[in-house]
Every structure is written in C-alpha cells, then in structure tokens.
Amino acid sequence: MRNKIEKWSLYMNANLQENIAPPKGQVVEATDLKERAEKVSELLLSDDMPNYDKNLFIQTLEELCEYSAIMKDIRDLPKVSIFGGARLQPDDPDYQVAKEMGEIMAGAGYKVITGGGPGIMQAGHEGAGRKDAVGFNIILPFEQRSNHVIKGSKHVIDCKYFFTRKLMFLRESDAVVACVGGFGTMDELFETITLLQTGKARPVPLVLLEKEGGTFWDSLLEMAEKLIEHGTINRDDLYLFRRFHSAEDAADYINNFYRRYHSIRYIGDRLVIRLKSPLPDQLYKEICEEYAEFIGDWGLVYTDALEEESDEPELSSLPRLVMKANRKKPVELYKLIRSLNRDVESTSTKRQNI
C-alpha cells in the first residue's frame, strides 16, 4: 500500500497548485463588532441573566476563544475533516482505509482534522502524521481520549459541548469525509448535509467512505430513497455527497471539486463565483442554459473584481462569474459549482446513485 500511496501523492503534488482548496476568506462585513462585544459583556456581568445561562455562554466563549488560538497559525491552510467511530481497531479494513485517506490528503497539502480520539479518528491522524494532525476532542467519562498521535500537540482542543465541536469542524473544513461509525458519526454527517442543503455552510465536497466491497452506507442510501418517496428531500439533494470504496477515488473527487472552483462571496444582491481558470466556451454556454431558472434574468456574467472585493486584493486577478444572488436554492448553487468541472472526465459532477 505504501508504494501505491506514494505514487498517488506524487500525482496529487504535481497538480497541487491548481487543485488544492484555496485559503478561506476571512472578510467580515460587520463594522460594529466592538460595540456588540461590549453589549454582551455588560449583559454577562449584570444580574439580569441567570447564572444557569451565564455558565453556558461563558463556557462556550472560552472554548471558542481557545479554538481561535490553536487555529491561528494554520487558518489559511487547507483542511479535511474525517469523521468516524471510536471503536474500530487497527486491524479493521475500514480503519485502514481511513488511515490511507489521512495519508493521501496530508501528502496533498491538507491538514487532517478528526475528533482526536481512538478508532477512525486515530487512523486519520496516523495517516497524516503529527505535523499535519488537528484534533477537536470531546470530553466524555468513557471511550474518548486523545490518541497517541495528537496527544500534547498545540493543535488539539478538548471540548465540553458537541455543538461547539461541530461548529469547529465545519467552519474549518474544505472537505469532509465520513467513515464507518456510530451515532456520533451520524450526527456529524447529517449536520454537514443539512448545512450544505440549507446554504448555512459554504460549499465543500462531502464523501462517504468505506472499505472495498463494504455495505455500511447501503442503509443510509436506502433511507435517502425512502425520504425521496415521502417527499421530505429532493433527489437533487443527492448531489451533496458521494460514496466511495477507495481512499484514492475519494481524494480524487475532493481534488476535482477545486480544479476550477475557487470560492464564492455574496455582495449585496449579487453572488460572485471566483474561478481558478475561465470556463471553456461550450461549457459556459451549457451551464447558462441548464441553470437559467436559477441564474435569473441577470444572467451569469464574466467580470473583473468588484469594487467591494478590494478587501481581498490577493484574489483580484481571478476570473469570476457574477449573477443575481439566489439564496433560496442552495442545492442548485452546489450543483452549478460541481458542473464547473464537467469538461473533466471524472466523478466530480455526478449525482450519488441509489
């Protein structure tokens, strides 16, 4: 397996500059942060709020402040989160495929985030190595402890609350890989899908990964079919994730997601889609026709950087497409982003089959 990973990593590294996830935008539109912070501080220090609530809010702020501190030196680096069960052992094939995934992604330039514990979380970190491992641990009276790879690292945090932990995962991730796991893994996976489906998270590739020939994710796909039959989700929601039985194929899917797509930014009633390279003329025409209803009367127009983007000068030279913002159909936007690579013969633009 070592030679196979090394060979594939060479391929990835050869395409790294073109296809790796770009640094996350950190532009904040709000201009009243100081005033809001002072107002919240006054409330926390007053007698108007019960201690029962104060304890929750202060604990949450403490965790998020620690999270900010440990991410400061790696915030601009691409990251992949690997979710999975704590109970899988190193001789399990699903443990091995998670380890391979961590190694491939670290070799491609990504930091590998896991829950910091044993099982699949440890596997992802073993593959990545201590230098490229990040751990968002959860404090539990059983099962969870920092694994031997991440223990003592400056890039590990112990969280009291699951909700802050999941916020950290999804705020930092440029890609998400869900491996075999239990209720905790399902919680993380379904929150990711929900945030992508509702547009509450920026578009990132989401992968369901398991061992070669595995059937673990069969039940989830069967449930998705039931949800479609009941009308509680749409079939197009299946564009939000892809299932793979190979770490190489999963990594290739992630790599292809960022082959041409760079980032998006909403500016007033406009959506700016930043690209790493222009679309071929025929593909541009196809996308305009296929997504005409979503794009609207403004159309999808090539433009230089907008004046409002002057706070991101490092992105000014990128080609970009601008359309009227349509926040009511986030899945359509996700599909459009994946369609940007349609001219590349790969899995990156297909819907998950059931």
CATH of residue 8's domain is 3.40.50.450
| Same domain (yes/no): 78, 114 | yes
Residue 351 lies in a domain: no
| Same domain (yes/no): 42, 13 | no
Q: What are the beta bridge partners of residue 45?
A: none
Going residue by residue through the chain, which has 354 residues, state the pLDDT in tens, using 9 for 90 and above.
Answer: 555 556 555 555 555 445 777 777 767 777 889 999 999 999 999 999 999 999 999 999 999 999 999 999 999 999 999 999 999 999 999 999 999 999 999 999 999 999 999 999 999 999 999 999 999 999 887 756 899 999 999 999 999 999 999 999 999 999 999 999 999 999 999 999 999 999 999 999 999 999 999 999 999 999 999 999 999 999 999 999 999 999 999 999 999 999 999 999 999 999 999 999 999 999 999 999 999 999 999 999 999 999 999 999 999 999 999 999 999 999 999 999 999 988 776 666 777 776
Residue 28 lies in a domain: no
Q: Which of these three, 231, 257, 283, is where a domain ends?
A: 257
Q: Which pairing describes strands 270-275 and 320-324: parallel, antiparallel, or unpaired?
A: antiparallel
What pLDDT does residue 16 have? 45
What pLDDT does residue 27 have? 73
d(CA 70, CA 66): 6
Q: Which domain holds residue 333?
A: 261-339
| Same domain (yes/no): 131, 12 | yes
Residue 295 lies in a domain: yes
Q: Which amino acid is at 64?
A: L
| Same domain (yes/no): 309, 319 | yes
What pLDDT does residue 17 have? 42
| Same domain (yes/no): 183, 320 | no
The number of angstroms, rounded, from the C-alpha of 30 to the middle of its chain's C-alpha atoms is 24
pTM: 0.92
What pLDDT does residue 72 have? 94
| Same domain (yes/no): 269, 295 | yes
Q: Which of these three, 257, 281, 303, is where a domain ends?
A: 257
Taking the CA atoms of residue 207, residue 73, residue 262 and residue 128 in that order, the dihedral angle to the nearest 10 degrees is -30
Secondary structure string (H, E, C) spanning 242-255: EEECCHHHHHHHHH
Residue 344 lies in a domain: no
| Same domain (yes/no): 246, 266 | no
What pLDDT does residue 20 have? 79
Q: How far is residue 39 from each of residues 35, 36, 42, 172, 256, measured CA to CA in Å?
A: 6, 5, 5, 28, 45
Residue 350 lies in a domain: no
What pLDDT does residue 261 have? 95
What pLDDT does residue 119 have? 97
Residue 348 lies in a domain: no
| Same domain (yes/no): 83, 43 | no
d(CA 303, CA 202): 22
Of 258, 278, 273, nearest to 16 (Cα)? 258
Ramachandran region, residue 67 (left: φ > 0; alpha: ψ -120 to 50; beta: rest): alpha
Residue 322 lies in a domain: yes
What pLDDT does residue 101 have? 98
Residue 352 lies in a domain: no
d(CA 302, CA 321): 5
| Same domain (yes/no): 278, 289 | yes
Residue pointed to by tokens 């090539």: 302
Tally the domains of the chain: 3
| Same domain (yes/no): 222, 79 | yes
| Same domain (yes/no): 148, 203 | yes
**DSSP letters spanning 224-271:** HHHHHHTTSS-GGGGGG-EEES-HHHHHHHHHHHTTTEEEEEEETTEE
| Same domain (yes/no): 12, 94 | yes
